[in-house]
């Protein structure tokens, strides 16, 4: 049995959890079966059972509004995915950018269609800031693909619930298979080269945030919370890849205001490599994840694998990763029924985050206990080997 992965992101061109997921899962599956990956970019790799082909895009003749280019570019590359002959037994899509390619493969080649849901477009209304009318296309193509898929993989039970609530799908076709992590790559390290490079004092505790500059990751709530935090620890913001220029400017202004209120703030405005991220996690006293929407939250796994205590919002799949009072603290996010991922009271959410951060920063023994428990939980529940095995078993149920 051969599987074809269709995806926007694939290493080394990744900016979010979906790209990390596809990179690790494809390599793990390739240990036991042929895997071909077709992705957006210039990648090219042939290594044993794994073949990766990147599809580049020439946008010089695109004269439509700039926000629509990613939507039209996705359609063009998804078409290119299919005009190159497909000899796989099934197609497995990741993120809405690849869904049109999956629809074409199912209809034209008669292949079973599997979709892993890393996030859901109806629950990300802020994406209209980035995509304009392209957001309406993303809603349509996601709905169409999910409702015709032969199997849907939800990365958490919370995501499965959302899929069944929002789409006309048979619950029997929706399967929960969590994200995973490479336990050898993500582990506590002693080196401080990255800290020294960015001017962070390894001898002083620091709070760490890692994430894209997008509404989903809740950076705006964290920046509001900083004013209430104790002044005796450093704050490291590893935040880059803004959804829009406006969000980039919003982040810049927020950082400047925070720096005027307290010393010891470090903004790393770049997507760091795995080794640097691992070092930042390892030496952080506390990792904070203030997301307002998170189907799984692989970033919390990375911190926990490096034995770092976590303070995270109690939304989506995060509640299946972080155990409140055992591996960290979960902070409730009051939500509006009409718009379930918009905080009713941003001030309260910011103060609640601050309370938990300050509590852990004042209690070294507690955060060390949380850190060790976090590593143990990751080892016992989230290895890529186990996740690949579950995925392969699902594939086998779809054989014609």
Contacts of 52 (CB under 8 A, 6+ apart): 10, 26, 36, 37, 39, 43, 44, 45, 46
pLDDT tens, the chain, 400 aa long = 999 999 999 999 988 789 989 999 999 999 999 999 999 999 999 999 999 999 999 999 999 999 999 999 999 999 999 999 999 999 999 999 999 999 999 999 999 999 999 999 999 888 898 899 999 999 999 999 999 999 999 999 999 999 999 999 999 999 999 999 999 999 999 999 999 999 999 999 999 999 999 988 999 999 999 999 999 999 999 999 998 999 999 999 999 999 998 999 999 999 899 999 999 999 999 999 999 988 888 899 999 999 999 999 999 899 999 999 999 999 998 654 445 455 568 889 999 999 999 999 999 999 999 999 999 999 999 989 989 999 999 999 998 6
**Rounded CA separation 325/319 (Å):** 12
Q: What is this structure's pTM?
A: 0.82
Calpha distance 299→358 (Å, rounded): 21
Residue 34 Cα to chain centre, angstroms: 26
CATH for the stretch 193-381: 3.40.50.2000
Paired sense of beta strands 50-55 and 44-47, if any: antiparallel
The answer to whether 3-180+383-396 and 193-381 have equal CATH topology is yes
Question: Which CATH number is correct for 3-180+383-396, 3.40.50.620, 3.40.50.1820, 3.40.50.300, 3.40.50.2000?
Answer: 3.40.50.2000
Residues contacting 243, CB < 8 A, separation 6+: 126, 127, 129, 130, 212, 213, 214, 215
CB 78 within 8 A of CB 358: no
What are the residue ranges spanned by the domains of the chain? 3-180+383-396, 193-381
């Amino acid at each position: 049995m051969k599987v074809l992965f269709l995806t926007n992101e694939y290493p080394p061109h990744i900016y979010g959890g979906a790209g990390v997921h596809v990179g690790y899962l494809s390599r793990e599956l390739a240990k036991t079966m042929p895997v071909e990956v077709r992705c957006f970019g210039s990648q090219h790799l042939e290594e044993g059972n794994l073949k990766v082909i990147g599809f580049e895009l020439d946008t010089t003749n695109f004269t439509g509004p700039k926000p629509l280019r990613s939507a039209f570019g996705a359609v063009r590359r998804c078409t290119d995915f299919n005009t190159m002959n497909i000899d796989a037994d099934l197609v497995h899509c990741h993120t809405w950018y690849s869904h049109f390619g999956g629809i074409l493969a199912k209809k034209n080649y008669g292949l079973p269609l599997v979709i892993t849901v890393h996030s859901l477009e109806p629950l990300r209304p802020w994406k209209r800031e980035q995509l304009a009318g392209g957001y309406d296309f993303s809603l349509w193509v996601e709905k169409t693909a999910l409702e015709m898929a032969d199997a849907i993989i939800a990365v958490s039970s919370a995501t499965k619930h959302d899929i069944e609530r929002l789409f006309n799908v048979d619950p029997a076709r929706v399967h929960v298979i969590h994200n995973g992590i490479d336990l050898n790559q993500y582990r506590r390290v002693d080196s401080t080269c990255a800290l020294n490079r960015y001017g962070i004092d390894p001898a002083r505790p620091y709070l760490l945030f890692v994430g894209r500059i997008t509404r989903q990751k809740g950076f705006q709530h964290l920046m509001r919370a900083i004013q209430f935090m104790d002044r005796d620890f450093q704050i490291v913001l590893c935040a880059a890849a803004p959804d829009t220029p406006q969000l980039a400017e919003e982040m810049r202004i927020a950082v400047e205001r925070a720096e005027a209120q307290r010393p010891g703030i470090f903004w790393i405005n770049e997507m760091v490599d795995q080794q640097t991220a691992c070092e930042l996690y390892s030496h952080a006293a506390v990792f904070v994840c203030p997301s307002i929407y998170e189907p799984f939250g692989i970033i919390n796994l990375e911190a926990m694998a490096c034995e770092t205590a976590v303070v995270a919002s109690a939304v989506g799949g995060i509640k299946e990763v972080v155990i409140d009072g055992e591996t960290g603290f979960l902070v409730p996010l009051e939500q509006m029924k009409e718009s379930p991922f918009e905080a009713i009271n941003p001030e309260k959410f910011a103060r609640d985050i601050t309370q938990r951060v300050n509590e852990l920063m004042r209690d070294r023994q507690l955060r060390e206990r949380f850190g060790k428990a976090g590593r143990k939980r990751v080892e016992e529940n989230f290895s890529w080997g186990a996740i690949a095995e579950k995925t392969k078993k699902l594939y086998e149920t779809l054989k014609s």
